[in-house]
Chains A and B, each alone.
Chain A
Amino acid sequence: MMALDPPSPKNLPLVIGVGNAYRRDDSVGLHIAREVRTIAPGDALVLERSGEGVDLMDCWREADRVILVDAVRSGKSPGAIIELNASATPIPSDYFHYSTHAFSIAEAVEMCRALDMLPASIHIIGVEGADFGSGTSMSPAVADAVAPAALRIVRLLHESSESPADPTCLAEASDA
């Protein structure tokens, strides 16, 4: 049997889970990416990355459609799921606080926009984090957001409708 080439970013939508597995709620993007891989195998190329800006730019270099998922700090209650269409609007600069020399997700997206290298469609799904301390367990409200955030990503993969341009809170945590 002829070996199949791995799916290329050009052919499949790209879902990139970003985070640090050892900084509690900062790991939520990775957990959501794994959940997407489980519930929608084959629907997207799912990657897990640290969030280093140049690496992200390289990941989506060939992609037309990208969904990025990461922990955010926007002032909402922990576990709130936020969505924005980064193709249409700049990312608020203080959403992604944990950077490496200030070149991470927001800078990578905005740098691509400035260089006219942004994928045609790029959506951000953020989950409000509460605890970014050392450890591998997430806050309960953040852990509860993994499944609904993954479902939202799968819906996005299957629908052609655009996300709202402005950041929109899709779901508040149940204890908010």
Chain B
Amino acid sequence: MANRTINVDYLARVEGEGAMHVKIHDDKLEEVKLKIFEPPRFFEALLRGRDYTEAPDITARICGICPVAYLMGAVHAMESICEVRVSPQIRELRRLLYCGEWIESHVLHMFMLHAPDFLGYEDAIQLAKDHPDVVKMGLRLKKLGNGLMTVLGGREVHPINVRVGGFYKSPKPSALKNLRGELDWALGAALQTVELVAGFEFQDFEQDYEFVCLRHGEEYPLNEGRLVSNRGLDVPISEYDNVLIEEHVEHSTALHSHRENGDICHVGPLARYAMNYDLLTPAARSAAKKAGLPPIVRNPFRSITVRAVEVVYAIEEAIRIIDSYEVPDKPFEPVTVRAGTGYGCTEAPRGICYHRYTIDDQGIITDAKIVSPTAVNQKIIEKDLWHFVEANLDLPDEKLKWTCEQAIRNYDPCISCSTHFLDLTVERS
């Protein structure tokens, strides 16, 4: 009976920390667990008793790389309760802010965290020594994302300019125009990035996923849409709790999610792309075609290319919004508090981010529920790992370990949204 144990004490290049355990007995895979063991941060409990106006800024602190997802989830939920309709200009500015977050987050993941996997480097710093121009391009693109976040949100991390009803202050046209030249450069750089990452060598690994995401119908989804899937799901976001069920499992302090029928689903760029391919801009769709991406991508290792296509989209969308920008008459709509329950669900860079709040007639939050995309993806990450390890048991331990980490990074997990420390253990016995 062959016994092999593989341990990785720290999985680098993901946000936050957790653990993974793979157990192989007599060349048979017995167990795969993505362990998230940091104590929960109790944001939902923290929100109870707070004023509804505080929810955006409090929840934005859940994550340093996708705060806009939390800001937007909270404001949309509160506005649905208070029956606020924002002006078209404010709606556009929110999309622009989200474009900044997508650019910032996707570029960081592609260049700094995921590209080293494909090119065989320990990290982006080692990668920079051999490919300085590639890394410099990534840093400049990320800086542009930071710039959009700063102009609209007041700063690049944890923006402070978003409020229920709109923004505290509208950006000056000149501040947005200042970014215009850089956006022109960025579009070229983003197209180059698609070509670059499409040339990486990918594992031959396709899965039959149920892709769950938002679909708006008229635009590639950022802030709004119905909850849809490639297996027939099509409901308003207020039905979220009926179609995505949370459960506690012993090895994770972040709740797992599954569909109401028990099926495991996949959220994130692959899902958005599969369900909204027709809504990409012509340039983004053409870049995808040129990169050899079909309209539905089932290989998670190719998510890096889909992210690159989404960066092209985000840059084009940012250009469109800036070019047609008119300063709103007022930066925010007045809000009259009403009691009720409201829902927000937006597309964070790594997938749908769901908020549900109940407030009383004084605007005090009495109940809150927030589900991060990484929490939803925990089960599909485990399933991917299961299928990948099972099909590759003959790989040497080091290679298996390396590729398992890469498979986890396919999801750009933001474990900090629910936890911190990720160790990877593969145990063979």
Task: Using CB atoms and an 8 Å cutoff, list the residues of chain A in contact with chain B.
Answer: 50, 52, 54-55, 57-58, 100-103, 107, 110-111, 113-116
10 CB-based A-B contacts, threshold 8 Å: A52-B157, A54-B143, A58-B143, A100-B65, A101-B109, A102-B15, A102-B112, A107-B112, A111-B139, A115-B136
> Which residues between 132 and 154 of chain B lie within 8 Å of chain A, taking CB atoms?
132, 135-136, 139, 142-143, 146
The residue of chain A having its C-beta at the shortest distance from the C-beta of B414 within the complex is: A101
Residue contact A54 to B142, C-beta cutoff 8 Å: yes
Interface size for chain B: under 10, 10 to 19, 20 to 34, or 35 or more residues? 20 to 34
Contact partners of A55 in chain B: CB under 8 A: 143, 146, 156
B109: chain A residues at CB < 8 Å are 101
B306 interface residue per 8 A CB criterion: no
Q: Which residues of A contact B108 (CB under 8 A)?
A: 101, 103
Nearest chain A CB to B310 CB, angstrom units: 17
Chain B residues within 8 Å of A115, by CB: 128, 132, 135-136
B332 vs chain A, min Cβ distance (A): 24
A58 nearest CB neighbor, chain B only = B143
Does chain A have a CB within 8 A of B125? yes
- On chain B, the residues within 8 Å of A58 by CB distance are 143
Residue of B nearest to A22 (CB): B61
Q: Knowing that A57-B139, A103-B124 are A-B contacts, what are 14 other residue pairs whose CB atoms are under 8 Å apart, sorted by A's residue number? A: A52-B146, A54-B142, A54-B146, A55-B156, A100-B65, A101-B15, A101-B112, A102-B12, A103-B108, A111-B125, A111-B139, A114-B126, A114-B129, A115-B128
Q: Among B15, B65, B139, which residue has the most Cβ atoms of chain A within 10 A?
A: B139
Q: Which residue of B lies closest to A117 (CB)?
A: B136
Q: Which residue of B lies closest to A114 (CB)?
A: B128
Chain B residues positioned under 8 Å from A54 (CB to CB)? 139, 142-143, 146
Across the interface, which residues of A come within 8 angstroms of B157, CB to CB? Answer: 50, 52, 100
Give me the 3 closest cross-chain CB pairs, A-B, nearest first: A100-B64, A114-B128, A101-B15
**Is A111 in contact with B124, judged by CB distance below 8 angstroms?**
yes
Q: Give A56 to B156 CA distance when docked, in angstroms.
A: 12
Chain A residue at minimal CB-CB distance from B112: A103
Q: How far is the CB of A8 from chain B (nearest CB, A)?
A: 18
Q: Is the CB of B64 within 8 A of A101?
A: yes
Q: Which residues of A contact B139 (CB under 8 A)?
A: 54, 57, 111
- Chain A positions within 8 Å of B428 at CB level: none
What's the nearest-Cβ distance from chain A to residue B119, in Å?
14
Say yes or no: A102 contacts B128, CB within 8 Å: no
With CB as the reference atom, state the residue of chain B lying closest to A51: B157
Q: Is B289 an interface residue (CB 8 A)?
A: no
Alpha-carbon distance between A66 and B243 when the two chains are bound, in angstroms: 53
Q: How far is the CB of A42 from chain B (nearest CB, A)?
A: 26
In whole Å, how far is A91's beta carbon from the nearest beta carbon of chain B? Answer: 11
B113 at the interface (CB under 8 A from A): yes
Most buried by B among A54, A57, A100: A54
- Residues of A contacting B414 with CB < 8 Å? 101
User: Which chain A residues border B401 with CB–CB below 8 Å?
Assistant: none
Q: How far, in whole Å, are A52 and B125 apart by their CA atoms in the complex?
A: 16
Q: Bound complex: CA of A101 vs CA of B125, how far in Å?
A: 14
Q: Nearest Cβ in chain A — how far from B301, in angstroms?
A: 20
- Determine the residue in chain A with the shortest Cβ distance to B144: A54
User: B155 in the interface, Cβ–Cβ < 8 Å?
Assistant: yes
B13 at the binding interface (Cβ < 8 Å): yes
Residues of B within 8 A of A57 (CB): 139
